[in-house]
Amino acid sequence: MAGETDETDETDETEEPQRVPGQPMTMIDSRSIPALTASQMREVDRIMAEDLHIELVQMVENAGRSLAELALRRFRPATVTVLAGPGGNGGGGLAAARHLANRGAGVRVTLSHAGSDLGAVPAHQLDIVTRMGIPVSAEPRPAVLVVDALIGYGLRGDPGGRTAELIDWANTQASAILTLDNPSGLDVTTGRAGTPCIRATATLTLALPKTGLAGAGETGELFLADISVPPAVYRRLGLTVPPLFDHDTIIELHSPCRTHPESPGSGSQARARKLQALQTSMTERTPAMDEQTDVVVIGMGPGGEDAAGRLAEAGLHVTGVEARLVGGECPYWGCVPSKMMIRAAGLLAEARRVPGMAGTSRVTPDWAPVASRIRDEATDSWNDKVAVDRFTGKGGHFTRGRARITAPGRGHGGDGRRRAGFPGAHRGTRRTGQPRRPGLHREACRR
């Protein structure tokens, strides 16, 4: 395959994720903004490039940079394998490979097509990647994170050939899969999954969500990145889009309990069938996680962690699922950091009262020690290892990811590597001598 380089890098792909600590992200309800069909997105791209001269290379760069940013914020991967296709989507993946390598990740690239078959923009990105010495290998290597940048919204028919092989390879990895714009193989307009189709842990879609994404089980967690589409472009398409990226260039989209707006071609029966198929496929492909458990606690904030810990100590088989950090908002963003800030302000105010009462003082405020105390002493750089160990030390089982209740007593959650199926809360597989807790199977949606 053209564009290949020798595999000289000796990165240890078994290394644990350890990069930038998890950071809060703006989250909005996906139903509050419009979603685009593939042809509407094509029109957005056309207006951008032809009418406004915002070149594809600029959009690809924005996409790639955001993809790398999300990879670091969400997964903190020590090693990444980027699967790149021949079009703009592949170009974004290759740009992300560069940004991830710049930030210290061990990155490898595998192309679905020969380098000579790449479009101008991905070829340009590949040239940079190759000059930087980032390994480009014919065979993909296992890594903590797989980035899927094989096929974008232009999919026609089922993926085939080498692209299909790489999709199958990714789906069999234990790694998390972060996909660019849409899971490769998914029809972004209808949400129909082709054969094969990437089953993503998270999807970073661009500009606006696509109509088929929110309802598709293959999407995983859904994030949205700014590729600098001017509001006038949306107005030309008759769309009203609120300001989305005032505070950040990446936001998280959520659909409460995954009750999605209807997408073309999907009625409630179709959605039910899709859900059934998803549950079946989750069970089939994650036998290790399909263990029975007494209780699933979704959200390990102060409330969830306390409940889960007590139940585990009482001898129940408890699975705690947390999308962000065990401990919740209180220790990392709420109670503790705010009290440290208030304490610092109080000290400054008190010290200013010394003159006239107890002698002299000169007060020079400095944010740096406050910030470093919050980072180092209170939050451990927003690392929840201690909290996770606290829970597992009580006998609890921990899973990182966003959980969903899919039916009474059934749900699925994520482990930070792959979303996994579990039979749900309170399956009645108590260890001997444990009383059954009535009501624990009640359906709940935390968001």
Report the nearest approach of ligand FAD to the CB of residue 301 (Å).
2
Per-residue contact track with ligand FAD, 274 to 303, x per CB under 6 A?
A: ------------------------xx-xxx
Decide if residue 256 touches ligand FAD (CB under 6 A).
Answer: no
Which one, of 324, 270, 320, 323, lies nearest residue 422 by Cα? 320
Nearer to ligand FAD, 239 or 341 (CB): 341
Decide if residue 95 touches ligand FAD (CB under 6 A).
Answer: no
* Residues in region 300-329 near ligand FAD by CB under 6 A: 301-304, 321-324, 328-329
Q: Which of 33, 257, 335, 341 lies at the binding interface for ligand FAD (CB under 6 A)?
A: 335
| Displacement of CA 305 from its chain's centroid (Å) | 22
Do the bridges between strand 221-225 and strand 404-407 make them parallel or antiparallel, or are there none, so unpaired? unpaired
- Minimal CB distance residue for ligand FAD: 301
Report the nearest approach of ligand FAD to the CB of residue 378 (Å).
13
Decide if residue 403 touches ligand FAD (CB under 6 A).
Answer: yes
Report the nearest approach of ligand FAD to the CB of residue 270 (Å).
24
Please tell me the distance from the alpha carbon of residue 425 to that of residue 293, in angstroms, as a whole number: 7
Q: Which of 18, 195, 338, 381 lies at the binding interface for ligand FAD (CB under 6 A)?
A: 338
Decide if residue 387 touches ligand FAD (CB under 6 A).
Answer: no
Residue in this structure with the two tokens 């904030």, named with its chain if needed: 301
Decide if residue 259 touches ligand FAD (CB under 6 A).
Answer: no
DSSP state of 317: -
Q: Is residue 138 within 8 Å of residue 169, measured between CB atoms?
A: no
Please tell me the distance from the alpha carbon of residue 119 to that of residue 344, in angstroms, as a whole number: 56
Residue in this structure with the two tokens 């661009």, named with its chain if needed: 206
Under 8 Å CB-to-CB from 374, ≥6 apart: which residues?
336, 337, 340, 341
Size of the site for ligand FAD (CB under 6 A): 21
Please tell me the distance from the alpha carbon of residue 211 to that of residue 262, in angstroms, as a whole number: 9
Decide if residue 122 touches ligand FAD (CB under 6 A).
Answer: no
Q: Is residue 31 within 8 Å of residue 160, measured between CB atoms?
A: no
Residue in this structure with the two tokens 């790149």, named with its chain if needed: 84
Per-residue contact track with ligand FAD, 347 to 386, x per CB under 6 A?
A: ----------------------------------------
Q: Is residue 41 within 8 Å of residue 266, measured between CB atoms?
A: no
Decide if residue 61 touches ligand FAD (CB under 6 A).
Answer: no
Please tell me the distance from the alpha carbon of residue 221 to that of residue 73, in angstroms, as a whole number: 13
Decide if residue 447 touches ligand FAD (CB under 6 A).
Answer: yes
Binding site for ligand FAD (CB under 6 A): 298-299, 301-304, 321-324, 328-330, 334-335, 338-339, 402-403, 446-447
